[in-house]
Structure 1
Amino acid sequence: MKKNVSRTVVREAIIMLEVEGYVEVRKGSGIHVVSNQPRHQQAADNNMEFANYGPFELLQARQLIESNIAEFAATQVTKQDIMKLMAIQEQARGEQCFRDSEWDLQFHIQVALATQNSALAAIVEKMWTQRSHNPYWKKLHEHIDARTVDNWCDDHDQILKALIRKDPHAAKLAMWQHLENTKIMLFNETSDDFEFNADRYLFAENPVVHLDTATSGSK
């Protein structure tokens, strides 16, 4: 019987089952049930509010929140903010693997600080920290060959250019697309291990583009 369930949801469920020790994902042979009991209990941690959320769910939350932060930042950004972002980019390009590095984190925090609202910067940092310690996110990254992933300096350049122009629309779209690219990369890098192609139904389309196009077309 066919179920109307996205493969993205299935993928996150498999990751959660793997973390708990119920299944193993073996490259070339599929998904194997190895136990009907959890291998170990995850200890509760009051500092890990997002510990039970799937990696793609966290990415979607970041995409929704940070794209709006970038939009607002473009209306508030100062020359000092731009100089700090340029310095971060310069340092980042000196690293062989920029993705998920400290400079990657600092760039996103600095964009949020450009709103002149420190609470927004704290939210961005919290989401990043929670993600990096999330057991499901870490399990997902075990299926990724770090040598094949892209760094995001070019994506960050597009965000920075929009902020320099003080263009809220472009800044929002650039941040949205940056995190969209991250999701696509994760889908592509894990598809072989999970033995099905990525379902882009939930994530491939950019509703911000569609909404903005519809709005501009009605004017």
Structure 2
Amino acid sequence: MEKMTEKGTTVDMVVSMLTERINKGDYSPGSKLPSERKLQEELGVGRLALREALSRLNALGIIETSHGKGTFVQNRLQSSTIKNILIPHFALSDSKRLQELVDARAMIESEIAGLAAQQRTKADIRRLEMILEQEVDSSTPSELVAYLDLQFHQELALIVDNHFLVLMHEALTAHIRTFLNGFVKSRNNPVEVLEAHRPILEAVKRGDAEDARSLVRLHISYSRRDYENFIEKTKE
């Protein structure tokens, strides 16, 4: 699989994937993480990127490294960690709250797309294209596909010259990240998940703000229907 080459992007991906595993209970509070070599093999990343990702999680109070013993998931999470890690579980268990998140996402992301279409540069467009050019297939981990999906929307937000709008988008992304991973896994079609963003990219590329807004609203409305179907399946 072709990998994005920017170190920062790789580190962000590792942070996201490890966070997802903690969210799902793969690594429970107090449990020891696999060795660095094992994590490198599982995630397909280099030692430096992995260590930087672990350092970030350590700084957030999510994990703790004890020299000579290993790295462990924290038993007591800090308040900032609760906001970023546990709230998505509440959304997952409450369909009404999840629908509210989707509605909020549609309002904020449609405006972001419109502004991005007006403010984008050639470099911005290239970064968006790189995300959709990633080679994925049925064997690609759902965590990675979900990461690329959210990364596309995050890159759109970064184009916009509005600090508060970007912060609002980041907050929504933190809440929906865990759910999106499960949703992507249920689709069994990673290529379709990424290609659904192609029309949005084309509208932004040609500078059509209104079309970009409309396409994002349409994209998220389809997602909402799929989310509802996914929630019903998880209740069965």
Task: Give TM-score scaled by structure 1 length.
Answer: 0.56
Aligned partner of 1:153 in structure 2 is 194
Q: Which amino acid aligns with 1:66?
A: E
Where in structure 2 are there 5+ consecutive unaligned residues? Answer: 1-76, 92-96
Corresponding residue to 1:131 among 176, 198, 202: 176
| Deviation digits for residues 169-195 of structure 1 (CA, Å, limit 9, x no counterpart) | 110011111111111112223335658
Alignment of 1:26-65 (within 5 A): 45-47=79-81, 48=83, 51=87, 54-65=97-108
- Specify the alignment match of 2:119 in structure 1: 76
Matches of 1:72 and 1:79, distance apart in 2: 15
**In structure 2, do the counterparts of structure 1 residues 109 and 188 end up closer, same or farther at CA, with 3 Å as the change threshold?**
same
What SS does the corresponding residue of 2:132 show, helix, strand or coil? helix
What is the distance in 2 between the residues matched to 1:154 and 1:90?
Answer: 9
Post-superposition offset of 1:145: 6.5
Structure showing the higher helix proportion among its residues: 2
Residue 3 of structure 2 is matched in structure 1 by none
Q: Which residue of 2 aligns with 1:67?
A: 110
CA RMSD of aligned residues (A): 3.2
- Structure 1 residues 83, 147: closer, same or farther in 2, change over 3 A? closer
Q: 1:215 corresponds to which residue? A: none
Q: Distance in 1 between matches of 2:185 and 2:130?
A: 29
TM-score scaled by structure 2?
0.52
Distance in 1 separating the partners of 2:186 and 2:228: 14
Is the Cα contact below 8 Å between 1:155 and 1:178 reproduced in 2? Answer: yes
Identity in percent: 28
Cα shift at 1:154:
2.3
Equivalent residue for 2:22?
none
2: distance between equivalents of 1:87 and 1:192? Answer: 33
User: 1:61: how far off?
Assistant: 0.7
Contact 1:85 1:107 in 2 (8 A): yes
CA distance in 2, matches of 1:73, 1:58: 22
Q: Where in structure 2 are the equivalents of 1:70-109 lying within 5 Å?
A: 70-91=113-134, 93-94=135-136, 96=140, 97=142, 101-109=146-154
- Bigger-Rg structure (1/2): 1
Q: Tell me which of the two structures has the higher relative contact order, counting C-alpha pairs closer than 8 angstroms and 6 or more residues apart.
A: 1
Q: Distance in 2 between matches of 1:179 and 1:111?
A: 15
Aligned-residue offset at 1:163: 0.4
In the aligned structure 2, how far is the partner of 1:131 from the partner of 1:189? 14
Which amino acid counterpart does residue 229 of structure 2 have in structure 1? N
Residue 89 of structure 1: how far off its partner (Å): 0.9
Distance 1:180 1:154 in 2: 16
For the Cα contact (< 8 Å) 1:162–1:170, is it kept in 2?
yes
Partner of 1:170: 211
Contact 1:56 1:183 in 2 (8 A): yes
SS in structure 2 of the partner of residue 82 of structure 1: helix
Shift of 1:101: 1.9
